[in-house]
Amino acid sequence: MDFSLTKEQEMIKKLAGQFALEVLETVAAELDESHTFPIENFKKMAALGFTGIGVPREYGGTGGGAIEEVIAVNEFAKKCMSSSAILSIHLIAPHAINKFGNEEQKQKYLPRLTKGGELGAFALTEPNAGSDAGAVKTVAILDEDTNEYVINGTKCFISGGSRADILTLFALTQPEKGLKGMSAIIIEKGTPGFSIGKIESKMGLAGSETAELIFEDCRVPASNLLGKEGQGFKIAMQALDGARIGTGAQAVGVAEGALDLSVKYAKERVQFGKPIGTLQGIQWYIADMATKTESAKMLVYYAAYLKDAGKAHTKESAMCKLNASENARHVTNMALQIHGGYGYMKDYPLERMYRDAKITEIYEGTSEIHKVVIAREVMK
Ligand code: COS
């Protein structure tokens, strides 16, 4: 068993770490304060090849797979969770098109979503279809005269949805069949009948815009169907199996960032005449944080390895996301505690990291849903 990274993976780690330090960290607090989506930084990610990870070079991507995605997302999250979420969530669209799209769709959309710097989004959730993703009500009915789908419905909580250029939308093409009548459709920004509704004000992850998307008699060519009619739910589930590894990588990253800051602070902060890091109470915190983070990381890498090896990874992706997200909440909480009053102040990044970490227990499927998925897989 070899745990070392390849030369190329080491290079990605170095580049991502440098970019996170020099570009992402400098704006992290400001994005959080101003609730601004860092579109310019997203373009820079594209120029460096991060937005094409997992997409073959012939379609404008940078190759690699889940391991490379984990490395980049993880490095970004150490410094700015919003930016890491933006990359991780963006990648769902090109990965879904790469896996389920036909040749024409791949050639049309992938170069734009990779080196082209266009943003992708994944539009599944609706007001009454959150954990119960199969309860989607948005419809896409084929108009046989024009060979277009006519889409009507509302999506909510769509990360990056207000900024996305190309979205994978999940809608019922045969509503009478329920989730078996769900299909995946590619839709572009600016399509008549597609508008942006409410932009949410959130507890954390403020740099990643979360939006309501409204479809009113929105027409898209039938050729935008991704995969086959009725395959939509399975496409969504498989896309989430991959995306949850990315969320695990975000969670590990924010925990590592919080641990790094805590170690530094514990060495520098003097109380009772000595650095607080010499106190056993603080050392126990640090030991717990490091152990939780390292074990979470192992599970994330294992799930990524399985995905890249083309092996089943539904269970491991759910496990790594469940474990890493709960760990991130614990670790950022302990880090905040070590920093005491300073941790609670906005002058320090800990309170932001704590708020940002919380979302990893909710989006891409709640912890409770992951337990359902894991139990089903274990008891198969
Ligand atoms: N990969 C491939 N197929 C899958 C799958 C997966 N990971 N998970 C389920 N399926 C298939 C099932 O095999 C079943 O197909 P058949 O009828 O042919 O056997 C079909 O999809 C329906 O699956 P199931 O009966 O398990 O659906 P449920 O309605 O019980 O829902 C859960 C399954 C709860 C797992 C699903 O709704 C879910 O993941 N919810 C959370 C959604 C989420 O993560 N939202 C976040 C928003 S996106 S940011």
What tokens does 124 get? Answer: 């599944």
Instruction: Tell me the average pLDDT across 170-176.
Output: 98
- Which strand (E) or helix (H) includes residue 155? strand 148-159
What tokens does 321 get? Answer: 């996301």
CA of 131 to the centre of ligand 1 (A): 10
List, chain by chain if needed, residues with CB within 6 Å of any ligand 1 atom.
124-125, 131-134, 179, 233-234, 237-238, 240-241, 314, 363-365, 369, 372-373
In a domain, 2, yes or no: no
From 234, 314, 321, 371, the mutation candidate for ligand 1 (largest count of ligand atoms within 8 A of CB) is: 234
In a domain, 87, yes or no: yes
Q: How many Å apart are CA 77 and CA 74, to the nearest integer?
A: 5
Residues 157 and 268 in one domain: no
Residues 247 and 324 in one domain: yes
CA of 373 to the centre of ligand 1 (A): 8
**End of a domain among 72, 87, 113?**
113
Q: How many Å apart are CA 60 and CA 51, to the nearest integer?
A: 10
Residues 241 and 347 in one domain: yes
- CATH code at position 24: 1.10.540.10
In a domain, 351, yes or no: yes
| 206: pLDDT strictly greater than 90 | yes
**End of a domain among 113, 133, 155?**
113
Helices (H), the chain: 7-19, 25-34, 39-47, 66-79, 81-90, 92-100, 103-113, 232-268, 280-308, 314-344, 350-358, 367-378
CA of 234 to the centre of ligand 1 (A): 7
Is the Cβ–Cβ distance between 120 and 164 less than 8 Å? yes
In a domain, 1, yes or no: no
Domain count, the chain: 3
Quickly count: other Cβ atoms within 10 Å of residue 311's Cβ: 9
**End of a domain among 113, 132, 155?**
113
Residues 99 and 57 in one domain: yes
| 28: pLDDT strictly greater than 90 | yes
Domain with 36, as residue range(s), is 7-113
Task: List pLDDT tens digits, range 322-360.
Answer: 999 999 999 999 999 999 999 999 999 999 999 999 999
What tokens does 260 get? Answer: 């790094």
Nearest CA residue ID for atom 47, ligand 1: 364
- Going by pLDDT thresholds of 50, 70 and 90, the confidence category of residue 280 is very high
Residues 267 and 205 in one domain: no
* Environment class of 47 (CB within 10 Å of its CB; exposed 0-12, middle 13-18, buried 19+): exposed
Instruction: Tell me the average pLDDT across 92-103.
Output: 98
Residues 60 and 185 in one domain: no
Residues 137 and 104 in one domain: no
In a domain, 309, yes or no: yes
| 372: pLDDT strictly greater than 90 | yes
From 170, 231, 233, 250, the mutation candidate for ligand 1 (largest count of ligand atoms within 8 A of CB) is: 233
Which pLDDT value is given to residue 342? 97
Residues 91 and 225 in one domain: no
Residues 239 and 267 in one domain: yes
Average pLDDT of the chain is 98
Residues 131 and 80 in one domain: no
- CATH code at position 359: 1.20.140.10
In a domain, 334, yes or no: yes
Residues 364 and 243 in one domain: yes
Task: List pLDDT tens digits, range 180-194.
Answer: 999 999 999 999 999
Q: Which atom of ligand 1 is nearest to the CA of 124?
A: 48
Asked if 58 is an active-site residue, the reply is no
Q: Which atom of ligand 1 is nearest to the CA of 132?
A: 37
In a domain, 58, yes or no: yes
Task: List pLDDT tens digits, range 39-68.
Answer: 999 999 999 999 999 999 999 999 999 999
Which pLDDT value is given to residue 358? 98
- CATH code at position 226: 2.40.110.10
Residues 128 and 109 in one domain: no
| 316: pLDDT strictly greater than 90 | yes
- Going by pLDDT thresholds of 50, 70 and 90, the confidence category of residue 1 is confident
Q: Please pick, among 229, 364, 368, 377, the residue that the annotation labels catalytic.
A: 364
Instruction: Tell me the average pLDDT across 114-124.
Output: 98
In a domain, 339, yes or no: yes
